[in-house]
Amino acid sequence: MKFSYYPGCCYETSAREYDMSSQAVCKKLGIELEEIEDWNCCGSTAAHSTNHLLALSLSARNLALAEQKGLDVVAACAACYQRLAVARHELNGDPDLLARVNSVTGLPYTASQRVLSMPEVIASYGVDNLRARVNKPLTGLKIAAYYGCLLVRPRSIQIDDEENPHILEQIMECCGAQPVDWHYQTECCGAGLGISNEDIVFKLVADILEDAAANGADCIICACPLCHFNLDLRQAKINKKLKQKFNLPVFYFTQLVGLATGVNPAVLSLHTHFINTKTIKRKYA
């Protein structure tokens, strides 16, 4: 399997754990990732909130570059995934809009290649195949799989059911972990409002953490740098502001797949989290 890889702007900074662990896990499983040469930002929420044509065109440039290689695209970041997948979906069904966007980018995009998320790529390896590769099972580790919004909504690009998805739980079960039943799988964390209106995000994230803890999770897994930022980094702030005592490590799901398949923990960036991952590392790394 070979894919064009879109790392996204946070790959070296706030989301380095995701980039490093995705690359390491794919390498381990023999999934080849070829970085899209000279990619640009997908435009994120800032672009689609400001100008529809601009948002489509910024994403389309990346997709056009990938198309030249003839490979399907995988984006690690869920936000990038959503933007690229939505652009491809809109342009695939609307030749006039496609022509307009191509006249903006100056690149001949035809919306042929698929856009996939990282959970889909790992799942496409196959449940049995993945299980066979697990040599350090995460036995007894209770995880709350958090999807947030961007992987399951809107419908045109969802990778699984919008209210009751399973794909991450399935991957975690292959790894020997024990997914918990909980209620906040697909509730929004507030995303970028964390910067502009932090108080709103405090409430949203506190509810998510509380439900994960109440249902016995040892940790949360996610597939989105925005979610990770809000759940991991803001956790201590929430403890202070809302007088709580949350202590839930938040992993990218690829970090745990990495641990279970025997990837060298040093390349999974387990030490750059805000909430200490030591207890889990000690047990499973």
Q: Which residues are near other proteins by CB under 8 A?
A: 9-10, 12-14, 16, 38-41, 43-54, 57-58, 61, 100, 103-107, 149, 153-155, 162-163, 186-188, 190-193, 195-197, 200, 203-204, 233, 237, 271-274
Indicate the residue among 40 and 110 with the shorter CB distance to other proteins.
40
Indicate the residue among 100 and 142 with the shorter CB distance to other proteins.
100
Closest approach of other proteins to the CB of residue 157, in Å: 10
Closest approach of other proteins to the CB of residue 18, in Å: 12
Indicate the residue among 63 and 260 with the shorter CB distance to other proteins.
63
Phi, psi at residue 178, to the nearest 5°?
A: -120, 100
Indicate the residue among 57 and 255 with the shorter CB distance to other proteins.
57
Long-range contacts of 270-278 (CB under 8 A, 24+ apart): 270/17, 272/16, 272/17, 273/17, 273/232, 273/249, 274/232, 274/233, 274/235, 274/236, 275/232, 275/235, 275/236, 275/247, 275/248, 275/249, 275/250, 276/249, 277/249, 277/251
Closest approach of other proteins to the CB of residue 273, in Å: 8
Closest approach of other proteins to the CB of residue 261, in Å: 25
Phi, psi at residue 74, to the nearest 5°?
A: -120, 130
Phi, psi at residue 50, to the nearest 5°?
A: -110, -40
